[in-house]
């Protein structure tokens, strides 16, 4: 997917033109995947551009590097300023996606990474709408399994971890599907390559536990909290593939995907296959109200304005 990147990017405290954002070929992250990233959404509501759950993204951003002893050499305030600043400096007044990341820099081919290893932080932004068709997408169960904490920390949002997602996505696309669904090492449902998964099973909203190797997604946590506040029974529990296939509704969640209905899995229609079911539709509407600033009970906690207070 070709990205309409904004003209300026942020690198270690400076705004530089995109064409000048280059790195040496000896950058460690290029060789070994030692890069940590976040995907952050900012929503234009006609009056301001609001970054969604900025503090939570920054908290996970720092924690991910900590699993590997990789230092984020900027304060939380500096990271926050970088994310809001890259939107402001590029004069963005439309909904957009921001990608902050930091990586081990000119460290050669040494596999011994310590907190003293040189790191670089950067951020870029681009206008962004829907990742998937919101009327519903198709998915296939991947033959590849989601890796587990027995091999590498699942909760670290590391570049190298997403090779698992890349191979599953490629398999799904070759099968003619929009997205893949990964099972964990025990054969239970884990997540999609870049999204968490929810299913409506006998009137309950169910998502796999973190023990399934699913990432603790920020959108996932949002849905659990908002659903419970709305009186929907929302639980985290093991989900078998058979339970997913027989669910009344299935949807994916993630910063890029937001809430995306899944209407076909492995060529089988989910529910009536005609679009989002009632629970999915309600969560989509509530999520949109929140990110657009139409839900005052969440605005102070979860929205950070880019332009003024």
Closest by Cα among 232, 207, 229, 231 to 290: 229
Neighbour tally for 11: CB within 10 Å: 17
Name the catalytic one among 157, 173, 174, 268.
Answer: 157
CA distance 291 to 303: 7
Do the Cβ atoms of 180 and 166 come closer than 8 Å? no
CA distance 28 to 269: 45
157 is catalytic: yes
| E strands present in the chain | 8-11, 14-17, 35-37, 40-44, 49-52, 96-104, 119-127, 137-145, 179-183, 189-191, 196-201, 204-207, 234-236, 249-254, 258-265, 268-269, 303-305
CA distance 280 to 273: 13
* Residues noted as catalytic: 157
């Amino acid at each position: 997917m070709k990205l309409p990147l904004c003209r300026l990017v942020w690198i270690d405290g400076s705004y530089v033109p995109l064409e000048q954002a280059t790195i040496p070929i000896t950058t460690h992250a290029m060789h070994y995947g030692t890069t940590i990233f976040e995907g952050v959404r900012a929503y234009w509501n006609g009056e301001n551009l609001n970054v969604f759950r900025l503090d939570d993204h920054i908290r996970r951003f720092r924690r991910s590097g900590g699993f590997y002893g990789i230092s984020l050499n900027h304060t939380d305030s500096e990271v926050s300023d970088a994310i809001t600043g890259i939107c402001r400096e590029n004069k963005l007044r439309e909904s957009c996606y921001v990608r902050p990341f930091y990586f081990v820099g000119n460290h050669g081919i040494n596999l011994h990474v310590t907190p003293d290893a040189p790191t670089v932080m950067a951020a870029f932004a681009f206008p962004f709408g829907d990742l998937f068709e919101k009327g519903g997408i198709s998915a296939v169960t991947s033959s590849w399994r989601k890796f587990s904490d027995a091999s590498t920390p699942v909760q670290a949002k590391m570049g190298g971890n997403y090779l698992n997602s890349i191979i599953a996505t490629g398999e799904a696309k070759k099968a003619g599907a929009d997205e893949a669904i990964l099972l964990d090492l025990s054969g239970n449902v884990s997540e999609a390559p870049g999204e968490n998964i929810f299913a409506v099973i006998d009137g309950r909203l169910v998502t796999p536990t973190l023990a399934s190797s699913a990432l603790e997604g920020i959108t996932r946590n949002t849905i659990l909290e908002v659903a419970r506040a709305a009186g929907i029974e929302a639980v985290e529990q093991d989900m078998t593939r058979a339970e997913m296939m027989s669910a009344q509704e299935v949807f994916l969640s993630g910063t890029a995907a937001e809430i995306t209905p899944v209407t076909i899995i492995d060529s089988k229609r989910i529910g009536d296959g005609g679009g989002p079911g009632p629970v999915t539709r309600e969560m989509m509407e509530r999520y949109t109200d929140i990110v657009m600033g139409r839900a005052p009970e969440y605005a102070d906690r979860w929205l950070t304005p880019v332009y003024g207070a």
